[in-house]
């Protein structure tokens, strides 16, 4: 049987960031279903939720913000409601003062 596409996708505009940058994570739904009560996670730690919106802004990012992020939420489709989670996305934050290259 063909693989079904992921129900939820965590969109990150940049996977490599510098300290002090701002990044907005978006939890998007494939298809026409509505996603409600969105939660965001770094590693397995909940970053707050549920949110009415599907975005989480990190500003300013710090070195400790590096890690694997994913989102989860309830998908409503007609009479059914189910919990889905996105695949993890790795975000790396570098120091503003990188070591000199030799």
pTM: 0.82
Provide the number of structural domains found in the chain. 1
Whichever domain contains 67, its CATH number is: 2.60.40.10
Buried-state track 74-100, b at ≥16 Cβ within 10 A, e below 16:
bbeeeeeeeebbbebbebebeeeeeee
Domain span including residue 78 = 8-92
Quick: pLDDT tens for 45-94.
999 777 778 899 999 999 999 999 999 998 887 788 889 999 999 999 99
């Amino acid at each position: 049987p063909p693989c079904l596409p992921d129900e939820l996708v965590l969109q990150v505009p940049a996977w490599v960031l510098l300290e002090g940058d701002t990044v907005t994570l978006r939890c998007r739904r494939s298809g026409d279903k509505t996603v409600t009560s969105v939660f965001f996670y770094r590693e397995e730690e909940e970053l707050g939720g549920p949110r009415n919106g599907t975005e989480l802004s990190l500003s300013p990012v710090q070195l400790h913000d590096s890690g694997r992020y994913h989102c989860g939420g309830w998908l409503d489709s007609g009479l059914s409601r189910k919990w889905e989670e996105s695949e993890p996305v790795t975000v790396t934050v570098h120091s503003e003062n990188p070591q000199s290259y030799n």
